[in-house]
Amino acid sequence: MLLDRGEVQVLADADQIARVAADEFVRHALEVVQSKGFFTVALSGGSTPKKLYSLLASEAGSFWAKVPWDKIHFFWGDERHVSPDHSDSNYRMVYEAMLSKVPVPLENIHRIKAENPDAPGAAEDYEQMLREFFRLEPGQLPHFDLVLLGMGPDGHLASLFPETEALFEDKRLVTAPWVEKFNSYRITLTTPVLNNAAFIIFLVTGEEKAGTLRAVLQGDYRPEHFPVQLIHPTNGRLLWLVDQAAARML
């Protein structure tokens, strides 16, 4: 079905979501590499994206050989304020599930250096790296070819949580909000950066998200309460891949 808040595909389960996402990833990467020579993607943490990464990296599957690994630049949409070897690290998850198993040049891996004890400083460093990589002039935004996102049961995305100032940050590319519920900092891309992507895919699974998903897609626009409603690409495609459990109230 096609909704005004994005295209929604309801799939059986997380495994099917991973397969459809892998198809979209490979198709889009090949198209972009053919047109401009390289492909940029901002990755998400979480169990459902992990299935996607493992599927892409499996030599026994049908995707590994199709992916132009040496032409892809990997970034992160957000990161926990931990070292890269910490069990909570989004970088570590992606590295173990995918990057350690595929022929990606080290210079194509652009992680958030969240081991910096100064979280705002880590955010500033990542923003500077983005400015340099994308060769941005003042006022310009990075243009990712693909952004992968999840949605929390509370409607948060990346590390942008309900009722927080970071939701409406429009001057910075990267910010480091303090997240009270976790008693820690997070480091995250801001919504203007996410919305400037050519293609955004949400991966959403679980019955506990059904009510939130319905409110987000079919309810009133309340982005301070449901931050995912802030995502509406300025000139790109928005695709929701959701399992039957999450979609049961749509």
**pTM, to two decimals:** 0.97
Query: What residues does each domain of the chain span?
Result: 10-205
| C-alpha to C-alpha distance for 100 and 95, rounded to whole angstroms | 5
Q: Is the pLDDT of residue 121 over 60?
A: yes
Q: Is the pLDDT of residue 1 over 80?
A: no
User: What contacts 137, CB < 8 A, 6 or more positions away?
Assistant: none
* pLDDT the model gives residue 125: 98
pLDDT digits (tens, 9 = 90+) for 125-144: 999 999 999 999 999 999 99
* pLDDT the model gives residue 123: 98
Beta strands 78-80 and 184-189 are antiparallel
| C-alpha to C-alpha distance for 7 and 5, rounded to whole angstroms | 7
What's the mean per-residue pLDDT of the chain?
96
- Reported as half-sphere exposure (CB side, CA atoms, 13 A), residue 206 has a value of 14
* pLDDT the model gives residue 4: 57
* pLDDT the model gives residue 5: 83
* pLDDT the model gives residue 156: 96
* pLDDT the model gives residue 61: 84
User: What contacts 18, CB < 8 A, 6 or more positions away?
Assistant: 48, 51, 52, 54, 55
Q: Is the pLDDT of residue 2 over 90?
A: no
As a dihedral over the C-alpha atoms of residue 223, residue 78, residue 184, residue 89, rounded to 10 degrees, the angle is 140
CATH of domain 10-205: 3.40.50.1360
| C-alpha to C-alpha distance for 250 and 173, rounded to whole angstroms | 33
DSSP state of 115: T
Backbone φ and ψ of 240, nearest 5° = -105, 120
Tokens 């047109």 found at: 35
pLDDT digits (tens, 9 = 90+) for 18-40: 999 999 999 999 999 999 999 99
CA 121 to chain centre: 21
pLDDT digits (tens, 9 = 90+) for 41-91: 999 998 899 999 999 999 888 999 999 999 999 999 999 999 999 999 999
- Give the angle subtended at the CA of 225 by the CAs of 212 and 240, to the nearest 5°: 40
